[in-house]
């Protein structure tokens, strides 16, 4: 299930102009020598430092704000992931692993890096994430950096060089580390970088380009899961230390405000089982025309049993009454 915005001018989280993917805005030809790698890592660390120092509302923390914006954008792109990233704790731990690999790669112990990579790889396998979905994750990350570092339409603190550094590191380092070798065959990494780099295009244009790039891929974005790995919450075990004293449970997660909108914890509405996730991750090969605004899923939905459907409705009313 994918949502697109039919009118990007209404989106306040990032500016969208009807720009096309073009050589003038791509990042191909980024020389990859030791000096460039050091410079790129410095840009990443400095821009992340600005994120941690940004102004936020009373009671908020910069990293908390960054996490909220990231997942708000991610759920706009892949709504069914709400059922898997269904609590602030799960969200922050996942994003923390992702960011630590990009920001701390130079200084972190190799054992720590290897552990984080293996943890993310396990999560991606159990969620059915393939290269196409990683590209969407990367686009959302760059949009979040741009959004949080460009407050109130003032001059951006996230320059084109900063963006190039993050995109290049994300593709050359994370995607290559986490993707299966068979998935990477025939893929041009520079094209993947260009896809993620383009934050000033309509979502529908991004999806069109994404679909075009992977048009030769016959496999869907969802791997066949084993019975064991498809059990609810199975993949979340890598997030939690065996300490039952934590009180930050999905059931007690508060309503989080994003701009002027409220995003309620989805656990109580959707439950912990993501029955539609395999459909979600098939987005590239089953996208219809995205020119119209979608109010719900644009993919076939799994029909809920009558009794369960009634229960979910009752829970929904309790949250939003």
For residue 255, the 8-state DSSP code is: P
Q: What is the predicted pLDDT for the residue at 78?
A: 92
- pLDDT of 110 reads 86
Q: Please tell me the predicted confidence (pLDDT) of residue 70.
A: 97
Taking the C-alpha atoms of residue 195 and residue 68, their distance in angstroms, rounded to an integer, is: 23
Sequence-ordered alpha helix ranges (H) in the chain: 34-52, 62-77, 88-103, 110-127, 131-148, 160-169, 176-178, 181-184, 189-197, 203-213, 267-270, 277-280, 306-320
Note the pLDDT of residue 192: 94
Task: List pLDDT tens digits, range 62-85.
Answer: 999 999 999 999 999 999 899 999
Q: What is the pLDDT along the chain (321 residues), one digit of tens a residue?
A: 333 343 333 333 333 333 334 433 455 445 556 668 889 999 999 999 999 988 888 888 899 999 999 999 999 999 989 999 999 999 998 999 999 999 988 778 888 888 889 999 998 998 889 899 999 999 999 999 999 998 755 667 899 999 999 999 999 999 998 988 888 888 889 999 999 999 888 888 998 999 888 875 433 333 334 334 343 444 444 443 333 333 333 333 333 333 444 443 433 333 333 333 333 333 333 333 333 333 332 223 344 444 444 443 443 344 334
**DSSP secondary structure letters along 15-55:** ----PPP-GGG--TT---SHHHHHHHHHHHHHHHHHHHT--
Residue 6: Cβ within 10 Å count: 14
| Residue pointed to by tokens 């915005």 | 5
Determine the pLDDT at residue 185: 84
Domain positions in the chain are 8-247+278-301
C-beta of residue 280 within 8 angstroms of C-beta of residue 80 = yes
- Please tell me the predicted confidence (pLDDT) of residue 62: 92
* pLDDT attached to residue 258: 38
């Amino acid at each position: 299930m994918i949502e697109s915005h039919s009118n990007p001018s209404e989106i306040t989280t990032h500016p969208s102009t009807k720009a096309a993917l073009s050589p003038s805005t791509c990042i191909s030809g980024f020389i990859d020598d030791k000096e460039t790698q050091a410079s790129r890592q410095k840009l990443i660390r400095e821009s992340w430092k600005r994120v941690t120092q940004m102004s936020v509302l009373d009671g908020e923390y910069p990293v908390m704000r960054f996490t909220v914006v990231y997942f708000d954008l991610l759920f706009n792109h892949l709504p069914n992931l709400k059922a898997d990233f269904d609590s602030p704790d799960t969200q922050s731990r996942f994003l923390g692993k992702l960011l630590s690999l990009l920001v701390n790669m130079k200084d972190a112990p190799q054992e720590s890096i290897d552990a984080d990579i293996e943890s993310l790889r396990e999560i991606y396998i159990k969620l059915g994430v393939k290269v196409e979905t990683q590209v969407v994750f990367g686009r959302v990350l760059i949009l979040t950096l741009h959004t949080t570092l460009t407050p109130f339409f003032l001059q951006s603190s996230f320059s084109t060089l900063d963006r190039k550094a993050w995109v290049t590191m994300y593709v050359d380092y994370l995607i290559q580390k986490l993707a299966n070798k068979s998935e990477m065959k025939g893929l041009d990494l520079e094209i993947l970088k260009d896809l993620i780099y383009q934050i000033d295009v309509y979502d529908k244009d991004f999806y069109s380009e994404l679909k075009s790039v992977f048009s030769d891929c016959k496999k869907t974005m969802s791997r066949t899961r084993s019975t064991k790995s498809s059990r609810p919450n199975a993949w979340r075990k890598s997030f939690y230390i065996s300490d039952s004293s934590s009180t930050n449970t999905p059931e007690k997660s508060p309503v989080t405000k994003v701009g002027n909108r409220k995003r309620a914890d989805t656990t109580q509405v959707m439950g912990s089982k993501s029955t539609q996730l395999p459909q979600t991750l098939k987005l590239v090969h089953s996208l219809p025309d995205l020119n119209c605004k979608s109010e719900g899923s644009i993919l076939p939905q799994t029909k809920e049993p009558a009794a369960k459907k009634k229960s979910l409705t009752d829970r929904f009313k309790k949250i939003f009454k």
